[in-house]
Amino acid sequence: MARGDGRLTHDINPQEKGPQDACGIFGVWAPDEEVAKLTYFGLYALQHRGQESAGIAVGNGEQILVYKDMGLVSQVFDESTLNTLVGHVAVGHTRYSTTGGSHWQNAQPTLGATPAGTVALAHNGNLTNTAELFDIVRERVGPSSGELRYGNTTDTALMTALMGSYADRTLEESAIEVLALARGAFSLVFSDESTLYAARDPQGVRPLVLGRLERGWVVASETAALDIVGASFIREVEPGELVVIDADGLRSHRFAAAEPKGCLFEFVYLARPDTHISGRSVHETRVEVGRRLAREHPVEADLVIPVPESGTPAAVGYAEESGIPYGMGLVKNAYVGRTFIQPSQTLRQLGIRLKLNPLREIVAGKRLVVVDDSIVRGNTQRALVRMLREAGAAEVHVRISSPPVTWPCFYGIDFASRAELIATGLSTDEICRSIGADSLGYVSLDALIEASTVPKNGLCRACFDGVYPIEPPARAGKDVLEQETIPGCETPDRDGLARAASLGDPADGLNSLLSAGGAADALRRP
């Protein structure tokens, strides 16, 4: 939506918001390397997982320096800023909000004081016991601890506050205790001044991988981020595992038994196609889904076209299996959704043309198979079908490379509400008529699971079948903590934040941010 501060809008049309990605996290421990720049490029590779804010925290053995702001990675950081973030351990985050609204105070990494220093924490996922953790924080350290004092309303801030609440324990020991308390989806990368930590919830809902540099280690949401910084893939961080990396090497703790339930929607849409999950190429999985889609829903047609970019691999598979030629019938504007300007009503009425435009010479007179990854509300597909018919398409057959999405996600994906999901109340034939297509076919859940090569009992399929592997929260929504009244919470204006930094208040950990001009400037950001 339009923003008053001149930063990016989230979407060109807030009434047709697709499934929003989980966050991207990246961590590196590498003495003698420019860890801030490695983290920058790692986050760049993970930009698709979150576009609302970005941040990097760097530890140099004595203090943590942080810089974070609203916007894309390339908007938040420049060369001079990265040059101020000097150290040997770094944690980075690019955010799409799940718990806590989209504003500066909720940007990550989140900071907190520990008995020995400071912790900087980045989180991918969504907790289901946020309200319960808030009660624990309120009882143990008070409701205005750390960044909670300045208006941070994320579940990440709760975990950060809890990690600093054990007066007689190291951060490593405290983390094991806190991780055992958390419920829901959490892949974490965090650090103190010297050590890198990574952890994954017992179900392993969100991905997290470990990589090796020549002189260090990397942890990231996806293997594609390892590739971009030249790290070799070692293994996935196991569900229920805490990994610790410091000068003594790498060690592992088990804080809970593994009960793997990896997110199936990562294969459908969230992950980059050049990423590997559970040893399986995401691109190859999507191509195989397209093949199975062709077998389950064949049709006589002249051309298979994708809705770029997420529909492209499945369209390739559909064309291969069906023998129908593959072609590019739609051109995507890569910068839509990154615009600074709110569209006028006239432009809004053009709808999908702001994102996609047909190649009239390709589609005119053709019977088309149009392959997309999912249908949420149906508005996009309805406009797309109409646009292709206006460009001269003889027939439009829509094929979807996922089953109907009929249930909300509580683990880090922001779907529309169940009432807004078109597949909740309509049959496939009714949806077909609603979007104006000549035919509509979804791949079956069994076919999608088989294409992933992950056993069915090792996957979270809740958005498709309503079977939740972790008990959903009693109270859901981004504003779980915003509904709480936090006594002593200061207004998070730029003066208040700068004042906290200048006073060096040991209760909030912000005193460790003062050494670099860029990091200090971050505290004064509106």
Tokens, residue 46: 């993970």
Name the β-bridge partners of 200: 187
What are φ and ψ of residue 316, in 5° steps?
-60, -45
Q: How many CA atoms lie within 13 A of 397 on its CB side?
A: 20
Q: What is the pLDDT of residues 326-381, one digit of tens each?
A: 999 999 987 665 554 555 666 665 667 778 999 999 999 999 999 999 998 898 89
* 70, 5 Cβ separation under 8 angstroms: yes
Burial class (CB in 10 A: 0-12, 13-18, 19+), 495: exposed
Closest residue by Cα to residue 227 from 279, 283, 276, 284? 276
Residue 481: pLDDT band (50, 70, 90) is low
Tokens, residue 435: 């979007």
Would you say 414 is a known binding-site residue? no
Residues 93 and 473: their CA atoms lie apart, in Å, by 25
Name the β-bridge partners of 442: 400
Q: Tell the residue number behind the tokens 């690019």, with chain if given.
A: 94
* DSSP string for residues in 370-381: EEES--SSSHHH
pLDDT at position 480 over 70:
no
Q: What topology is assigned to 276-465 in CATH? A: Rossmann fold (3.40.50)
Residue 476: pLDDT band (50, 70, 90) is low
Residues 38 and 195: their CA atoms lie apart, in Å, by 17
Mean pLDDT of 152-171: 90
- Convert 197-213 to b/e letters by CB count within 10 Å (16 or more is b): bbbbbbbbbbbbbbbeb
Sequence ranges of the chain with CATH classification 3.60.20.10: 20-260
Residue 174: pLDDT band (50, 70, 90) is very high
Q: How many CA atoms lie within 13 A of 106 on its CB side?
A: 18
Residues 469 and 261: their CA atoms lie apart, in Å, by 7
Query: Active-site residue 23, yes or no?
Result: yes
Between the alpha carbon of residue 324 and those of residues 135, 146, 265, 292, the distances in Å are: 59, 59, 27, 14
Would you say 373 is a known binding-site residue? yes
Global confidence as pTM? 0.85
Positive or negative, the CA dihedral 320, 322, 325, 330 is negative
* Catalytic position from the list 23, 159, 431, 449: 23
**141 against 18, higher pLDDT:** 141
**47 against 513, higher pLDDT:** 47
Pairing of strands 280-281, 276-277: antiparallel
Q: Rounded to an integer, what is the distance from CA 142 to the centroid of its chain?
A: 30
Would you say 463 is a known binding-site residue? yes
519 — alpha (psi -120 to 50), left (phi > 0) or beta?
Answer: alpha
The amino acid occupying position 493 is D
pLDDT at position 3 over 60:
no
Residue 252: pLDDT band (50, 70, 90) is very high
Closest residue by Cα to residue 243 from 255, 230, 231? 255
Would you say 409 is a known binding-site residue? yes
Name the β-bridge partners of 396: 368
pLDDT of residue 449: 98
Tokens, residue 422: 């078109």
Average pLDDT, the chain: 85
Q: Tell the residue number behind the tokens 């000097």, with chain if given.
A: 86
Name the β-bridge partners of 216: 213
pLDDT of residue 234: 98
**338 against 101, higher pLDDT:** 101
SS3 of residue 183 by DSSP: coil
Would you say 489 is a known binding-site residue? no
Residues 129 and 184: their CA atoms lie apart, in Å, by 7
Residues 299 and 294: their CA atoms lie apart, in Å, by 8
* 405, 415 Cβ separation under 8 angstroms: yes
pLDDT of residue 510: 36
Sequence ranges of the chain with CATH classification 3.40.50.2020: 276-465
Tokens, residue 166: 């054990």
Residues 120 and 100: their CA atoms lie apart, in Å, by 18
SS3 of residue 409 by DSSP: coil
Residues 134 and 142: their CA atoms lie apart, in Å, by 9
Would you say 274 is a known binding-site residue? no
Name the β-bridge partners of 370: 305, 398
Would you say 21 is a known binding-site residue? no
* 428, 404 Cβ separation under 8 angstroms: yes
Q: What is the pLDDT of residues 257-270, one digit of tens each?
A: 999 999 999 999 99
pLDDT of residue 515: 30
Between the alpha carbon of residue 140 and those of residues 114, 132, 135, 168, 245, the distances in Å are: 14, 12, 9, 14, 28
Domain range 20-260, CATH class = alpha beta
Angle, helix 155-163 to helix 171-181, in steps of 10 degrees: 140
Between the alpha carbon of residue 234 and those of residues 208, 248, 333, the distances in Å are: 11, 18, 36
Residues 241 and 248: their CA atoms lie apart, in Å, by 19
Residues 178 and 169: their CA atoms lie apart, in Å, by 12
Tokens, residue 195: 């050590």
Tokens, residue 224: 């594609």
Q: What is the pLDDT of residues 24-77, one digit of tens each?
A: 999 999 999 999 999 999 999 999 998 889 999 999 999 999 999 999 999 999
pLDDT of residue 302: 98
